[in-house]
């Protein structure tokens, strides 16, 4: 009996070891399967992770507008104006001097100019699409965004780029008209057109359509400012590489300015500005005249005008800003910038 009990106890301990070893193998097998499955899942999700990273790293810049918060914002940004002309292309026969134009310049006249309502609609739609894309992206988890959500945002951004291309294409002729006035020995017409097109693209991104102004006014100022920078850099470059002969002769005689206004044109501008001033309030007139020296005296500072009028200099600055906004609005109404540009 004693021997048989010991044998039974030994057999039980051996069976326990066998069961534990078998169980450990099963547990190990169960653990190894999820690990391999996770690796397969991660390898399959790598393209999606790349698209997530590209989407969240992409900058989305837009011009904010209160219209985007209205309930009918999507309708305002989707339904074009009733008078909109579609398509934008027009017959090739409308291009002026078609025989004298290069193929590139002739192609610009195949796209008509946008009306004010069309221009507002396209800028509103482009920025609304970017606003929607930025809003949707902000509501997503960077690590859990689905493919469907990513494709929806990418579709909005792609459509915004299409609208941007329409705005750029319809304003390329503006670059050509401005570039013609800045051609010189250092800046060829083709180079200026290329630089102007880049400035035009930046202007489309930064134009605040909510103010109600025409884009051509804003773009003209931006392109001209870019051309002035190029001309200034070219003059600096020429001054650094003066030949030996010119160094003995001294500075070259200044070139006459052939692009100035005539005496009659200056008188017209004086009369127009006097009319603008007459429409300002008396205090606004006094500040504008004193600040810019239109009375023949040296320009006065905000502090000096504030002391003479009994107000702080910040109040003088506010009145000046209001007066200048009125003057800009009056100048835009009579298309003063375009008139002066035609003179020059």
The model's confidence at residue 233, banded by pLDDT at 50, 70 and 90, is: confident
Of 35-49, 175-189, 297-311, give the lowest mean pLDDT range: 35-49
Spell 25-61 as b/e; 16+ CB within 10 A means b.
Answer: eeeeeeeeeeeeeeeeeeeeeeeeeeebeebeeeebe
Please report which residue ranges of 185-281 form alpha helices under DSSP H: 189-206, 215-240, 244-249, 263-278
Burial class (CB in 10 A: 0-12, 13-18, 19+), 12: exposed
Q: Do residues 302 and 316 make contact, with C-beta atoms less than 8 angstroms apart? A: yes
pLDDT in tens, 311-335: 888 888 889 989 888 888 888 887 7
The model's confidence at residue 241, banded by pLDDT at 50, 70 and 90, is: low
pLDDT on residue 30: 47
Q: Is the pLDDT of residue 200 over 90?
A: yes
Of 47-56, 161-170, 193-202, 327-336, give the lowest mean pLDDT range: 327-336
pLDDT on residue 313: 86
Q: Is the pLDDT of residue 196 over 50?
A: yes
Q: How far apart are CA 20 and CA 64, in angstroms?
A: 68
pLDDT in tens, 110-150: 888 899 999 999 999 999 999 999 999 999 998 999 999 99
pLDDT on residue 208: 93
Q: Is the pLDDT of residue 236 over 70?
A: yes
The model's confidence at residue 278, banded by pLDDT at 50, 70 and 90, is: confident
What domains appear along the chain, each with residue ranges and CATH number? 46-170 (no CATH), 175-251 (1.20.120.1810), 263-343 (1.10.10.10)
Put simply, whether the predicted model's pTM sits higher than 0.85 gets the answer no
The model's confidence at residue 7, banded by pLDDT at 50, 70 and 90, is: low
Other beta carbons less than 10 A from residue 216's beta carbon? 16
**What number is the average pLDDT over the span 277-302?**
87
| Phi-psi label, residue 214: left if phi above 0, alpha if psi -120 to 50, beta otherwise | beta
Q: Do residues 223 and 196 make contact, with C-beta atoms less than 8 angstroms apart? A: yes
Question: What count of Cα atoms within 13 Å lies in the side-chain half-sphere of residue 14?
Answer: 6
Q: How far apart are CA 44 and CA 29, in angstroms?
A: 23
What's the alpha-carbon Rg for the chain, to the nearest Å?
A: 35
**What number is the average pLDDT over the span 53-81?**
90
Using a pLDDT cut of 90, give the percent of the chain over it.
32
Q: Of the spans 89-98, 113-122, 251-260, which averages the highest pLDDT?
A: 113-122
Q: Residues near 98 by Cβ (< 8 Å), separated by ≥ 6? A: 92, 106, 109
Name beta bridge partners: 89: 111
Hey, what are 5's tokens? 């009990």
Burial class (CB in 10 A: 0-12, 13-18, 19+), 287: buried
Q: How far apart are CA 282 and CA 305, in angstroms?
A: 14
Q: Is the pLDDT of residue 215 over 90?
A: yes
Find the Cα–Cα–Cα–Cα dihedral 193, 198, 202, 207, rounded to 10°. Answer: 20
| Phi-psi label, residue 299: left if phi above 0, alpha if psi -120 to 50, beta otherwise | beta
Please report which residue ranges of 58-115 form alpha helices under DSSP H: 73-76, 103-108
């Amino acid at each position: 009996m004693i021997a048989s009990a010991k044998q039974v106890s030994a057999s039980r301990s051996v069976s326990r070891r066998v069961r534990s070893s078998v169980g450990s193998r099963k547990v190990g097998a169960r653990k190894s399967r999820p690990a391999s499955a996770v690796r397969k899942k991660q390898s399959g999700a790598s393209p999606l992770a790349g698209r997530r990273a590209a989407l969240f790293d992409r900058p989305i810049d837009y011009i904010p507008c209160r219209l985007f918060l209205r309930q009918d914002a999507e309708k305002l940004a989707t339904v074009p104006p009733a008078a909109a002309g579609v398509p934008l292309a027009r017959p090739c026969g409308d291009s002026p001097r078609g025989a004298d134009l290069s193929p590139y310049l002739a192609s610009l006249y195949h796209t008509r100019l946008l009306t004010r309502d069309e221009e507002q609609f396209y800028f509103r739609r482009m920025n609304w699409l970017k606003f929607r894309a930025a809003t949707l992206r902000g509501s997503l988890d960077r690590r859990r965004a689905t493919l469907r959500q990513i494709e929806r945002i990418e579709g909005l951004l792609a459509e915004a780029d299409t609208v941007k291309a329409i705005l750029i294409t319809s304003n390329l002729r503006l670059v050509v008209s401005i570039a013609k006035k800045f051609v010189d020995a250092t800046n060829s017409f083709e180079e200026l057109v290329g630089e102007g097109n880049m400035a035009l693209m930046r202007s489309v991104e930064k134009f605040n359509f909510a103010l109600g102004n025409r884009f051509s006014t804003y773009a003209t100022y931006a392109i001209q400012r870019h051309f002035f920078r190029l001309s200034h850099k070219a003059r600096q470059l020429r001054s650094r590489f003066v030949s030996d002969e010119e160094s003995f002769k001294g500075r070259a005689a200044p070139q006459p300015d052939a692009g100035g206004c005539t005496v009659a044109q200056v008188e017209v501008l004086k009369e127009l500005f006097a009319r603008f001033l007459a429409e300002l309030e008396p205090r606004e007139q006094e500040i504008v005249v004193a600040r810019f020296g239109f009375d023949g005296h040296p320009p006065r500072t905000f502090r000096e005008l504030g002391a003479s009028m009994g107000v702080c200099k910040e109040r003088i600055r506010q009145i000046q800003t209001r007066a200048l906004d009125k003057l800009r609005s009056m100048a835009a109404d009579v298309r003063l910038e375009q008139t002066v540009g035609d003179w020059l």
